Structure 1
Amino acid sequence: MKLSKLSLSLLGTLALVSPAAAHVVLDQPMANAGTYYKAVFRVPHGCEGSPTTSISVRIPEGVISVKPQPKQGWSVKTETAPYAKSYENHGKQISEGVVRVTWEGGPLPDDMFDEFALMMKLPDDKETMMLFFPVEQTCAKGSTAWDEFPAPGADPHSLARPAPSLMLHQGDAHTHHH
């Protein structure tokens, strides 16, 4: 077959690409500021061959109204704490809420992937361009903290354990004039 060389080089390229994509990531890495957003955290593998037994997501400041999606075979716990400042939601001032969500159970075998979802309201301030959601992945053996943030101007791909990130799109579509 004439394709063999091409197929082999493509396979080689794919083999190089896949480890880099093996981080815990958000399924939809962009969203509009100030909107409700379904964050889907994709867990692509366990810890060095060991199955995943817990996923814990830290919620960044400014993200409110966090609701986890239940998962068959997993128990879900939320941790609430005071926010750094108050936020308005539906005309009410909110000064505390969910700061961490943890799913425990499974286990999720190393050779399978799964997704863990949260509904949340994204911040609407003009300063916030990126949100980072540090994730602690615990396995039957060992754990991985996906909690590295890129320094301003640094290449996020240079990080060994990047925190899942969400880019906020600052649009005018959601401003309400009364």
Structure 2
Amino acid sequence: MLKKLALTAALVAVGAGAAIAHTSLETKEAAVGASYKAVFRVPHGCEGKPTNVVRVLIPEGVIAVKPMPKPGWILEKVSGAYEKAYGNHGTPTKDGVKEVLWKGGNLGDDEYDEFVVRVFLTPDLPVGKMLYFPTVQECSANAVERWIEIPAEGQSGDDLEFPAPGVKLLEKARGH
């Protein structure tokens, strides 16, 4: 019994270490039809190399994207057409930011940083589902970490090697 308990504790510790080893979102839940401050946590570089570029793909249904500039990094926003028009303060919005890049920085492999984007989660996003933001770290010497894997419908994603950061979509609270 004691061996089984020790093995379980060891597996939990290994799983917890793996969970923080990849790029993730600080806040794991957000309401649809509301603003969301997406804080992408980047815990290390790539294979011992410093991170020089962080790219975040903005999923469909996420609009009004406003990334936070970072000292020492160049901020770039890539715009494009949405699959459909979304209401934004009473105005139909057909295009906007589809990808955010922070470039030219130097996040050492033994360092941690956060990259922030404020967005609006449109009300027609599916409540109860996960929304994923595929993220890529580009590092010196052409090393790359691609956090882009999205679990199949009905799967948790715990077994993915390179999971995309995700947020669980909640129903908007009444009166907000």
Relative to the length of structure 2, the TM-score reads 0.88
- In 2, Cα distance between the equivalents of 1:52 and 1:163? 17
Q: CA RMSD in A?
A: 2.0
Listed as ranges, the matches of 1:33-112 within 5 Å are 33-112=32-111
Greater shift in the superposed pair: 133-142 or 17-26: 17-26
Q: Percent identity?
A: 43
- In 1, Cα distance between the equivalents of 2:157 and 2:38? 20
Unpaired runs of 5+ residues, structure 1, are 1-9
User: Quick check: 1:147 aligned with 2:148?
Assistant: yes
- In 1, Cα distance between the equivalents of 2:175 and 2:137? 35
- In 1, Cα distance between the equivalents of 2:11 and 2:152? 31
Q: Which AA in structure 1 matches 2:132?
A: F
Q: Which AA in structure 2 matches 1:169?
A: L
Name the residue aligned to 2:174: 173
Name the residue aligned to 1:157: 158
Q: Which AA in structure 2 matches 1:61?
A: E
1:52 to partner: Cα distance: 0.4
Equivalent pair of 1:134/1:163 in contact (CA under 8 Å): yes
1:12 to partner: Cα distance: 9.2
Listed as ranges, the matches of 1:7-46 within 5 Å are 14=13, 17-46=16-45
1:51 to partner: Cα distance: 0.5
Relative to the length of structure 1, the TM-score reads 0.87
Equivalent pair of 1:126/1:170 in contact (CA under 8 Å): no
- In 2, Cα distance between the equivalents of 1:56 and 1:126? 23
- In 2, Cα distance between the equivalents of 1:157 and 1:12? 13
> Whose Rg is larger?
1
1:103-149 residue CA offsets vs partner (Å, 9 max, x unmatched): 01220000111000001000211635221100011011310111000
Partner SS for 2:103: strand
- In 1, Cα distance between the equivalents of 2:71 and 2:175? 35
Q: Which AA in structure 2 matches 1:77?
A: E
Partner SS for 2:82: strand
Give the count of matched residue pairs: 167
1:73-102 residue CA offsets vs partner (Å, 9 max, x unmatched): 000000000000000111101000000000
